[in-house]
Amino acid sequence: MTGVAAAVMTGPGAVELREFPRPEPEPGAVVLDMRLSGICGTDKHTFRGETLQYAGTPHERQIGYPLICGHENVGVIAAIGGADAVPDGAGRPLRVGDRVVPAANVTCGRCWYCLTGQPYYLCERMEDYGNSLGCADPPHLFGGWAEQMYLLPGTALHRVPDAVPDELAVLTEPLAVTHGIDTARRLRRPSFGESVVVVGVGPLGLCHLIKARLVGCGRLIAIDLLPSRLALAEDLGATLALRADELEAGQLAERVRAHTDGRGADLVIDASGVPETFPTCLRLVRTGGVLVEAGAFVDLGPVGVNPAADICTRNVTVLGIGGELLSDYGPALELLARSHDRLPVDRIVSHRLPLSRAGEAVELAQRDGAMKVVLGGR
C-alpha cells in the first residue's frame, strides 16, 4: 500500500481509518512522519460533538467534519518543500530525519494580536491543526492522528533533544499551556516555593502539576474524583491529595487552608474542564492569590460567582488561559531534557494505541485508570 493512513472523525462519535495520497510539500511546508499524537480534552469534546455548539475560541469558529484530530505531536521530518532545510524555533536549520514537535497553530502575522506580540493563539485568523483545519481538501493531513502530517509554511518547529523520549515530547504542547503558573509569579510574591492546588489532575492538570514541581513550587495539593489520578499525582510530588467526591467545597477549602498555614493556596489551577469547580477554586485560593482557569475550553454554561466576596474584597486575580505560548515550546523541551529521568513516563502516558483503534482510544481517555492516551502507528 502506498497511501497514508489517518484516523478520520467523520461526525460525532465516529472515527475510521482512511487512506490519503502521500503529500508533496509546497515551498516552506514540511511533511512529518508521525511518531506519536496525544488525545486532548478538546478532542474528547469534539468526539462528543460538543464543539459543534460552541467552538471554544475567541473567534467562535465551527469545527467541521471530516477532521483528522491531533495537535499534540512529535514526528520526524520526511520532506521539506523547496529547500534543504527549514529553521527551527531557535533559528537553527532542520533537515530531513530530524525529530521535532510542531506548533499546534499557524498565525496570520498581520492582525493586531500578531503585530503587537499578544499570545499567538489569540490571532484573529489562526488555523489550528486537528481543529479548524479539516481533512476534506488536499493535502488533507492537517492532524496528528495519522502516519504523516502536513505542516503549512510558517508553522514553528521545535527540535527534540536526544534525551527526551517520544512519550515525553508529546507532552510539549500541553506543558506550553501551563504559562499561567509563570504569569502568576510575575504578579505576586512569592515567586517560587509557593503553595499550589491543581483541581482536576487529568492530563492537563498533570502537566500543570509537573510544571509546578519542576519550577520549584512548595506544597502541592491535587484534587480529583479518580483515585488512580490522585495516586499518580502523589508520586509526582503532590504533598496532599484530596478526593472531590468525598469532600464538599467547604471541606476542601478547610483542608487546603490546613495545609497552607491557614491561608489558602497562593496559586490554584482549575484544570477540571467543567464550570462547577470554578466557584470552589475561588474558595481555595488565599486572599491576594491567583486562580488560573485553564481547562474550560468548551462552553458548558454559567455558574454563580460572587464578585464582592470571592474576588474584590479578597483581592483575587483570575487568569484565563486559552492556549499555549509559542515561546514556551522550547523551554518545555529544555525542562523535559533536564528532568526526564525523574518522571514515570509509562504512567503519565498510560496507553498507546494504533491509529486503527482511535475511537476506542478516545473512549479510554475518559475512563478511570487512563492518563494521557497517545496514538502511534497504523
Distance of alpha carbon 42 from the chain centroid: 9
Least separation in angstroms between residue 371's CB and a copy of itself is 22
Nearer to a copy of itself among residue 58 and residue 66 (C-beta):
58
Least separation in angstroms between residue 338's CB and a copy of itself is 6
Contacts of 210 (CB under 8 A, 6+ apart): 171, 175, 236, 343, 348
Only one residue has cell 484516523, namely 7
Interaction with a copy of itself in 109-138: which residues (CB under 8 A)?
Answer: 109-113, 115-122, 124
Q: Is 116 left (phi over 0), alpha (psi -120 to 50) or beta?
A: alpha
What is d(CA 164, CA 214) in angstroms, rounded to the nearest whole number?
Answer: 15
Nearer to a copy of itself among residue 42 and residue 148 (C-beta):
42
C-beta neighbour count of 24 within 10 angstroms: 12
- Would you count residue 338 as binding a copy of itself (CB under 8 A)? yes
Contact 149, 79 (CB under 8 A): no
Burial of residue 329, with CB atoms counted within 10 A of its CB: 0-12 exposed, 13-18 middle, 19 or more buried: buried
Nearer to a copy of itself among residue 334 and residue 346 (C-beta):
334
Using the contact rule CB under 8 A, the part of the chain among 29-37, 72-80, 326-334, 364-372 near a copy of itself is 326-334
- Would you count residue 208 as binding a copy of itself (CB under 8 A)? no
Distance of alpha carbon 79 from the chain centroid: 27
Nearer to a copy of itself among residue 95 and residue 110 (C-beta):
110
Interaction with a copy of itself in 219-258: which residues (CB under 8 A)?
Answer: 219, 237
Binding-site member from 72, 128, 173, 194 for a copy of itself (CB under 8 A) = 194
Contact 284, 197 (CB under 8 A): yes
What is d(CA 279, CA 306) in angstroms, rounded to the nearest whole number?
Answer: 8
Interaction with a copy of itself in 154-173: which residues (CB under 8 A)?
Answer: 154, 156
Nearer to a copy of itself among residue 97 and residue 117 (C-beta):
117
Count of residues interacting with a copy of itself (CB under 8 A): 98
Interaction with a copy of itself in 80-109: which residues (CB under 8 A)?
Answer: 87, 89-92, 109
According to DSSP, the residues that pair with 30 across neighbouring strands are 80, 151
Binding-site member from 33, 49, 54, 352 for a copy of itself (CB under 8 A) = 54
- Would you count residue 1 as binding a copy of itself (CB under 8 A)? no
CA Rg value for the chain:
20
- Would you count residue 205 as binding a copy of itself (CB under 8 A)? no
Interaction with a copy of itself in 301-320: which residues (CB under 8 A)?
Answer: 301-320
**Is beta strand 372-375 parallel, antiparallel or unpaired with respect to 349-353?**
parallel
Contact 147, 4 (CB under 8 A): yes
Using the contact rule CB under 8 A, the part of the chain among 6-14, 19-27, 144-152, 293-301 near a copy of itself is 293-301
Judged by DSSP in three states, 242 sits in strand
- Would you count residue 203 as binding a copy of itself (CB under 8 A)? no
- Would you count residue 30 as binding a copy of itself (CB under 8 A)? no
